[in-house]
Amino acid sequence: MKFNLLLFIFCFTGSAIAQERKLPETFNLSGHPRILLLKEEEASIQTSITDSPVWEKMHRAIIEESENMIDLPPLERIQIGRRLLSVSRECIRRVFYLSYAYRMTGDESYFQKAEEEMLAISGFNDWNPTHFLDVAEMTMGMAIG
């Protein structure tokens, strides 16, 4: 009992102190986007694609798959058993590929399809909160977008 009380006090005090901490005035965050591929990193990736057949093959595969996604219907909330995980994972895949394709080519059709997918997902009545992975992976897909 004493241990639990001490643990609670320690955690409560620690979280209270953490809330008072502020970033230093000199701390600068890079501009958006900040997830996975920072702004203006496309040039270094393009150099890698040009210099390496492996990078070129991977780039080409992602672009081809993104092209195939453009004609697919938007994701729907189809729960299999108690899980929505297949939809969550497809959300990550589609948005990740389409975002990459847009950033690397500047082709608006990839942007529009990614936006269409995210709007469809946003329209779901929920992301199946009874299963935390469904929500977590859907959130990750949306964050990437």
Is residue 118 over pLDDT 90? yes
What is the average pLDDT value for the chain, to the nearest integer?
A: 85
Measure the CA–CA gap between 4 and 21, rounded to whole angstroms.
26
pLDDT digits (tens, 9 = 90+) for 61-86: 999 999 999 999 999 999 999 999 99
Is residue 106 over pLDDT 50? yes
Report pTM. 0.77
Q: In the predicted model, what is the mean pLDDT of residues 125-139?
A: 93
CB 81 within 8 A of CB 111: no
% residues pLDDT > 90 (the chain): 67
What is the full DSSP assignment across the chain? -HHHHHHHHHHHHHHHHHHH----TT--PPPSP-SSS-TT-HHHHHHHHHH-HHHHHHHHHHHHHHHHHHTSPPP----BTTB-HHHHHHHHHHHHHHHHHHHHH--HHHHHHHHHHHHHHHTSS---TTSHHHHHHHHHHHHH-
Domain boundaries defined on the chain: 31-144
pLDDT of residue 1: 54
pLDDT of residue 2: 56
pLDDT of residue 16: 47
